[in-house]
Amino acid sequence: MSLDPATSGTPRSLIEGELRLIGGLNEKFFRLLAAVDRSGSINRAAKSCGISYKGAWEIIERANNLSPRVLVETAIGGRRGGGTRLTPAGRELLDLFQRLQEEHRRFLNRLNRQLADNPDLYYLFRRLLMKASARNQLFGKVTAVRSGGVYSEVAIGLKGGDSLVAMITNESISSLGISAGVDVIALVKAPLVIVVKDFGGYRLSARNQLKGTVTRVQKGAVNAEVVIQLPGGDSIAATITNESVDALGLKNGDGATALFKAGSVILGVAGK
């Protein structure tokens, strides 16, 4: 299930859970019972559930041994023919579980709809699902697209009024459907971010110059991670050498600027 607040549909399963009864009576067990009821064969039921013949028998034998009444019985020949079938007690238990399962589905669906009604929470969950190696993952909205011969400049507004610029090909603009108002994720690798504490009167050509406050300096064997929090609340991480940290005298609370080129920004959009 999926739901974008801008579109109609059923809510995305932000909350998921399997209905499991005490003693290991889970959906796998009841799928096996249902398959036995349909096929009348433990062999065919096991195959349809993706478990071995021996494994299916072990599950059923354990349930039969622990149940006050036999749940599954095997007939050999006779007027009704051979095979495996549910007893009335087994069918009663299966029917009960299926009713509980339907209630469980409705319960989860109701909770997911409540989550989907909160756009901030919905987008948080949606963004947490994305996995990427880039240390910096910033979500924002396209505010402008300035097209060039081969490349386009994309301006992105971040929360709190901060902004950045990405330079991507016109082909990417077209294939990703990027235009003003579209939500995007901007990916920037930490080693591509330069930290400046004092410009010394110089102006630099880097298109993105995001001013903020150092909130963490974590040194490693050779390099250090420096995190700069922007006024709007987003954070930019940079990987620089320990020598650079010492030379700049970086410490928590210092004002600093994160610099990176527009061409260092990779943009992503949510799939349809």
pLDDT in tens, 40-79: 998 999 999 999 988 898 888 888 877 778 889 876 544 4
Average of per-residue pLDDT across 236-248: 95
Distance CA 47, CA 83 (A): 15
In angstroms, the CA 264 to CA 272 distance is 26
Give the pLDDT of residue 119: 63
Longest dimension (CA), the chain: 100
DSSP H stretches of helix in 177-227: none
Q: Is the pTM of this model over 0.85?
A: no
What span, in angstroms and rounded, lies between the C-alpha atoms of 80 and 87? Answer: 14
Quick one: what percent of the chain has pLDDT higher than 90? 51
116 pLDDT exceeds 80?
no
pLDDT band at 9 (very low <50, low <70, confident <90, very high): very low
| Residue 167 Cα to chain centre, angstroms | 27
Distance, CA of 114 to chain centre? 19
Domains and CATH numbers, the chain: 1-129 (1.10.10.10), 136-268 (2.40.50.100)
Looking at residues 117-124, what average pLDDT do you find? 62
Where residue 122 falls among pLDDT bands split at 50, 70, 90? low
pLDDT above 50 for 81: no
CB 238 within 8 A of CB 258: yes
Q: Do 35 and 45 meet the contact criterion of CB atoms below 8 Å apart?
A: yes
